Amino acid sequence: MLRERNVRRTIISINSILSIISIEIILLTFSFLLVNEVQGQERDIVSGVNKPKVGLQLLGGYGYLSIGDWNSYSAANTKMQKDLAQLFSYEASGDFQQLNGVGVVGGAVRMSLTPRLNIFFAFSLLGQKQSSDENKIVVHRLVFSETMSHNTQIRVIPLELGAIYSIPVFSRINLCFNLAGGYYWARLNDFFRRDMDGLWEEIRQKVQGSAFGLRGGIGLEYKFSKQVSLLADFVGRLVSINQLRGNYDYKNSSGWVDYYKGNLYYYETDLTWMGLGVYPQMKVFASQPDPNIYKNNRLGRLNLNGFCLLVSLCFWL
């Protein structure tokens, strides 16, 4: 168990390190090119030779987000159910899926300051939804069966201000470097249901948070004409939301209900006394939970570090 946890943490760390390194390289390269461009184009801007143009950009793509704590919770829950099944000699099938792949749609307003330097204001939506049909574990015991399912959804909305520096490669193709910073709003919704031969319980958790983030990328732009161009970008992101606030809503077939607002916390369930392992968990609490009961608890984090491939069409006005 310890080795598997270390492997998962290593993979997450590698992805975060790659994102950091790629953005630092792009930042240094972009800064050098930007200073060089401003110095070279200063006279033209003042004299009015280079008149700014405005363009509208439509984008879409697909990418990877680390997610962090919630994925650790999903993987640990799968592992815990199967470890318990093996310990008590019953069958457990299925998995709680992790959130990683996200679709991206959005747009941007782009302005050319010089033939090589553009600035832009971008807005987009990143998201993924997992249905309970594909995100469940079924347990078959001697006297009853139990089905546990999660319906999980994540939505991220970035508003970013950035710049693009273009280097001509061929007559219609430019090599583009882009760098942007902005504010990220994220929302995570999870609906958990457990069915046990006519008995059931449901838990709804909805949390949200926000943070400042950076992104950087490199791509190719193909100019169909002076008014239309196609841009393909590989983009890395650095964003960490360190507090998620929302609500917890519980009810079951016996009529018991519970509802409160609070923060999403990470904690660990220790089953080493049963010969098993330590399993990360996630839950909304109204206040910080008792560390004697909820081991190693802290505020849950949403790690949005990752990368994506974006394709966009730009229409110059």
| Contact assessment for residue 239 and residue 209, using Cβ atoms and an 8 Å cutoff | no
Q: How many domains does the chain have?
A: 1
Pairing mode, if any, of strands 136-140 and 117-130?
unpaired
CATH code: domain of residue 286: 2.40.160.20
Average predicted confidence (pLDDT) for the chain: 88
pLDDT digit string, tens, across residues 22-40: 555 555 555 555 555 555 5
Other beta carbons less than 10 A from residue 243's beta carbon = 14
pLDDT digit string, tens, across residues 229-255: 999 999 999 999 999 999 999 999 999
- Domain of 188 in residue numbering reads as 2-316
pLDDT digit string, tens, across residues 111-130: 999 989 999 999 999 999 88
pLDDT digit string, tens, across residues 264-304: 999 999 999 999 999 999 999 999 999 999 999 999 999 99
- Alpha carbons 69 and 266: distance in angstroms, whole number: 7
Where are any strands of DSSP class E within 224-256?
A: 228-238, 240-241, 245-252
Work out the percent of the chain whose per-residue pLDDT is above 70: 84
- Alpha carbons 124 and 105: distance in angstroms, whole number: 6
